[in-house]
Amino acid sequence: MKSTPEPRERGTQDERFTRIAIIGNGGGGKTILARKIAMKRRLPITHVDSIQYLSGFEPRPEEETREILNKVADENRWIIDGFGPLDVIERRFERAQLIIFINFPIWRHYWWAAKRQAKSFWQPRSELPQGCREASIGHTIRLFKILSKVDEHIVPVLKKILSRKDLRDKVIEIHNPDEWKLIFEDQF
């Protein structure tokens, strides 16, 4: 896995990157980065949260989620932002031309997620289905528990998957906000 992106000449655009997977723990800026890249490259975005949840954070049936996400991954132009079922993630990675893995220290994910939660009291996230209100203490507590579980259990699995020989050369791992900014400014 590459750690920091190699700088490119400003203004150039690599046409190979028409299928981009952005993954990492919650509160890492995946959605913001996906939107910035999508605008610059004119790529459609699929936010996994908008697929795996129905109104009121009711989980969509897993088989239906798999089917929708696999159909998106079969397209030729996309940015997919988020997780979903593990087998679907692996398939997405195989199809992706670039995988951006946001892997901040857990405290940064907590901090940015807390800021996002506070903002949600005034402005719900547009990528969530209607009726998905995050603006509550209960939701925030659940979110922080999920962040911890992802950090402990899912991130190690992701690292193992991303170290596969067929994937590792298309992965950029982001460790801090400076690298997060650099990936957009120098790569897109």
CA dist., res. 135 & res. 132, Å (int): 9
Q: What percent of the chain lies above the pLDDT cut of 70? A: 81
User: 69 lies in a domain?
Assistant: yes
> Can you give the pLDDT at residue 5?
47
The beta strands (E) that lie in 73-128 are given as 78-81, 98-102
Provide the number of structural domains found in the chain.
1
20-62 pLDDT, tens per residue?
999 999 999 999 899 999 999 999 999 998 899 888 778 899 9
**Does 4 score more than 90 pLDDT?**
no
Q: What are the C-alpha distances in Å from 186 to residues 9, 64, 82, 94, 175? A: 7, 37, 23, 24, 16
Closest by Cα among 126, 147, 119, 120 to 50:
126
* Residues in contact with 105: Cβ distance below 8 Å, sequence separation at least 6, in sequence order: 175
Q: What is the mean pLDDT of residues 156-171?
A: 96
CA dist., res. 13 & res. 84, Å (int): 29
User: 13 lies in a domain?
Assistant: no
User: 103 lies in a domain?
Assistant: yes
pTM, two decimals, is 0.85
98-121 pLDDT, tens per residue?
999 999 999 999 998 888 777 766
Contact yes or no for 23/172 (Cβ under 8 A): no
User: 2 lies in a domain?
Assistant: no
CA dist., res. 61 & res. 53, Å (int): 9
Closest by Cα among 24, 23, 28 to 115:
28
Q: What is the mean pLDDT of residues 139-151?
A: 89
Q: What is the mean pLDDT of residues 76-90?
A: 94
pLDDT-based confidence at residue 9 (cuts at 50, 70, 90):
very low
* CATH number, domain with residue 35: 3.40.50.300
User: 75 lies in a domain?
Assistant: yes
> Can you give the pLDDT at residue 129?
58
